[in-house]
């Protein structure tokens, strides 16, 4: 019997990606502090946050449940870019990403019979953006709740010159790595 899968995330994108794999799951949001620690490296940060999310939800679940959590950050240099607070913040972030290559770090943590963690890092190159484009993009509403103030699968796709890595990882859940750790736990994809 396949164990019940719980997604420890409020992200509709992560849920849709799991559904794309044919995985039935429930959602339980982890309430943790996601503030980066002083001098915390981006990889350490996303791995820690994904771990804390899966642990917090797993402690509240029935025995035999499998909890999947993820965390994704847009990183320029060593700077972790969170979600924008307002237009000025989004303008600052997207102006810094304009005409550069940045990284998107996505960590996945799975708790079940065994605890597993994986990290995916992808490179995203933006073309040069005008201030007016950024302002117009902000007013679409799309960047308001997105790390780095953009959604790769949405309107911001017109800003992206190239991607090296995992498109789904940039969206928030690297499916290659996720399917592998789920398989290690006995959960197969494409189940009806």
Catalytically active residues are 71
Token couple for 75: 């990183």
């Amino acid at each position: 019997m396949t164990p019940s899968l719980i997604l420890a995330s409020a992200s509709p994108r992560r849920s849709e990606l799991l559904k794309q794999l044919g995985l039935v799951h429930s959602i339980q949001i982890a309430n943790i502090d996601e503030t980066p620690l002083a001098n915390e490296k981006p990889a350490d940060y996303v791995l820690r946050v994904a771990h804390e999310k899966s642990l917090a939800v797993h402690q509240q679940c029935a025995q035999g449940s499998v909890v999947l959590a993820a965390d994704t950050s847009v990183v320029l240099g060593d700077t972790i870019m969170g979600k924008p607070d307002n237009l000025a913040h989004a303008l600052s972030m997207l102006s810094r990403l304009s005409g550069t290559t940045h990284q998107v770090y996505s960590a996945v943590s799975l708790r079940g019979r065994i605890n597993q963690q994986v990290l995916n890092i992808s490179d995203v190159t933006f073309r040069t953006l005008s201030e007016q484009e950024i302002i117009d993009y902000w007013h679409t509403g799309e960047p308001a709740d997105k790390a780095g103030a953009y959604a790769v699968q949405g309107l911001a796709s017109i800003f992206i010159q190239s991607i090296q890595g995992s498109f789904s990882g940039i969206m928030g859940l690297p499916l290659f790595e996720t399917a592998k750790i789920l398989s290690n736990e006995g959960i197969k994809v494409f189940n009806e």
